[in-house]
Amino acid sequence: MTWNRSLTIIGILVWIGVIALLVWAGGQNPTPRPVAALAYSDFMSKLDAGQIKTATIDGHKIEGTLTNSARYSTLTPDDPSLPTQLLRHRVHVVVSPPEPGSVFLTLLTWVPFLLIAAIWIFVLFSSRGQTGGRFGFGKSRAKLITPTQTHPVTFADVAGIDEARSELQEIVEFLKSPQKFERLGGRIPKGCLLVGPPGTGKTLLARAIAGEAQVPFFSISGSEFVEMFVGVGASRVRDLFEQAKKSAPCIVFVDEIDAVGRKRGLGYSGTNDEREQTLNQLLVEMDGFDTREGVILLAATNRPDVLDPALLRPGRFDRRIQLSNPDITGREQILLVHVRKVPLAPDVDIRALARGTPGLSGADLANLVNEAALLAAHRNEAQVSAGDFDDAKDKIMMGSERRSLVMSAKERKITAVHESGHALVTLYSPDHDPLHKVTIIPHGRALGATLSLPERDRFGYSRRELTTRLAILFAGRVAEEFYFGSNDTTTGASDDIKQATELARRMVCEFGFSSKVGLVSYEDDEHGSGYESFLSGRKTMSNETAARIDEEISRLTNDAAQSAREILSGHRAELDRLVGALLEHETLTGAQITEIVQPNLPMVPDKSDLLTAAQ
């Protein structure tokens, strides 16, 4: 404290001295009196005539008075004999020292460099003995959440990840009663790594552990460690663990740890000194603290494959907990958590809503409930109804309605024909998910949409199911060809063709669904195509294999388009009725489409009974 006060006083004195110097230098430059400027030749003529009385020499400039008391000024060349000539003509000669103004200009030239040096010296000495430095560059930016918060997060706020919650329950027990484990020689893991896709509740689960254990919770992102200056990240790691040890027992949570924990020495420029020093310091700190201190390190990432192996070895992140998107039971529990403060209408069925949202994460479901509540509030409703949830689901999946978009009659008919083709092939394909809704109201960037929702969770697809998906994707283009001819088809199928091509490529290169290519994986890597690796620059397949893959992709897409063509040509009358109904009503549900197309058409079996039996 005394050292810092002395530095502050010295800094104030320095600034006072600089201001005084500026004031003094400004006062030493009064406005000069006007003088007559002489050419050098005129000056020499007057000197020969004896008209020069005094001369003050300042470098190449001479000022003085004439015999008639007039003042003069002239510039002279570099002439060593000039002083001798002046003395021979009995001129009073004075050699002037450098003016204060020139000293001031010289000093002013060095002021920026002196200030920079002074600032660095000031920062260097003032940071000694202080954690994080004078200006807090090395201070940890972790947010501290204490148990005294009004509404702490607990396991009651976490749903759909029961397996992960049960694995972390023993950490809560250790923080509450460590003696229970220590008496039998047990050692709680120093670190737990939460791995899962975005939105699966990694951060929420970490906060729930701290809330259940009633201990402080330090939260920081991996990107907050790394700065431009080498050594700052390592200093922040040290400061974070020092704070954690002072607050023990506690939990330290590092979100997106892959930002600082990537494998060392794999950068495009060879290395990254700041990130690697930060990672090294993190590894040292994890080795340096004892589990008996009550500090538990939790980290979250959705890229565990890029983490450094030293970070995952036993003794550091001993345990890896995998989180995934919830199943139907988990989605129902998550929805029940998020609708606790939402007034629901009697027609809302949470179980049915969970069945209609397969593949959605916990964050997606929270957003669904929020969007439904906003829609109900916008419509001035007292409760959130099933229709609000249905509209919110469509908004999330397809985008907001664009009823302000003006479409011509021809464009509306083209859209109706295109979507009717998708819907009809879906309806006559028992190997595909049931048809949910068809609309020609523009949503987002799409002029229309056809939605199918699975009624159970899917963990794998057969070759027949994927082939059926290809046929459905090409059904819109085929329907346009039936109505308008191949020369008048539109660009509306561009996204369908892109999806179908990608699906066919994966069937050939990843899933092994091609007898000509065989059971060999040519999956694209992260940085380039499967034909040539971006990092190594070498080919991963021969030219013959690449040509064979192209042939198989073309065969799959052409066969799928032909399958769609056969279905639509065999049900042309039903296609016409569906187009007319879409032009009239704009939006139709799956049940309405079935009734319009063919009232006696056998419906795709309801799989809810099978789902209930499986559970």
Radius of gyration of the chain (CA): 40
CA distances from 568 to 412, 434, 450, 506 (A): 20, 18, 16, 27
In a 3-state reduction of DSSP, which class is residue 328? helix
Taking phi first (over 0 means left), then psi (-120 to 50 degrees means alpha), and beta for anything else, what does residue 430 get? alpha
Residues in contact with 563: Cβ distance below 8 Å, sequence separation at least 6, in sequence order: 467, 471
Single out the residue of 249, 255, 253 nearest to residue 295, CA to CA. 249
How far is it, in rounded angstroms, from Cα 189 to Cα 315?
7
Angle (CA) 127 131 136, round 5°: 70
Q: Which two tokens stand for residue 350?
A: 């949470």
Active site residue 173: no
CB 192 within 8 A of CB 353: no
How far is it, in rounded angstroms, from Cα 85 to Cα 275?
74
Complete edge-to-edge strand list for the sheet that includes strand 449-452: 449-452, 435-439, 587-589
The one catalytic residue among 212, 419, 455, 574: 419
* Terminal alpha carbon distance of the chain: 68
How far is it, in rounded angstroms, from Cα 349 to Cα 168?
32
How far is it, in rounded angstroms, from Cα 434 to Cα 607?
10
Question: What pairs with residue 36 in β-bridges?
Answer: 72
Assess whether the previous peptide bond of 249 is cis (omega < 30° from 0): yes
- Give the residue numbers marked as catalytic: 419
